[in-house]
Amino acid sequence: MSYQVYINGEYFAKEDAKISVFDHGLLYGDGIFEGMRAYSGKVFRHKEHMDRLWNSARAIALEIPMTKEEMMKAVNDTLELNGLKDAYIRLVVTRGTGNLGLNPFNCSNPGVIIITDKIALYPQSLYENGMEIVTASTIRVPAAALSPRIKSLNYLNNIMAKLEAKCAGCEEALLLNSKGEIAECTGDNIFIIKDNVIYTPPVDAGILEGITRNSVIELARELGYDVQEITRTRYDLYISDECFLTGSAAELIPVVKVDGRPIGDGKVGPVTKTLIEHFRDMIVR
151 is catalytic: yes
Single out the catalytic residue among 14, 42, 151, 273: 151
The CA-atom distances, in angstroms, between 37 and each of 1, 19, 116, 218, 283 are: 20, 24, 9, 18, 10
Which residues belong to the active site?
151
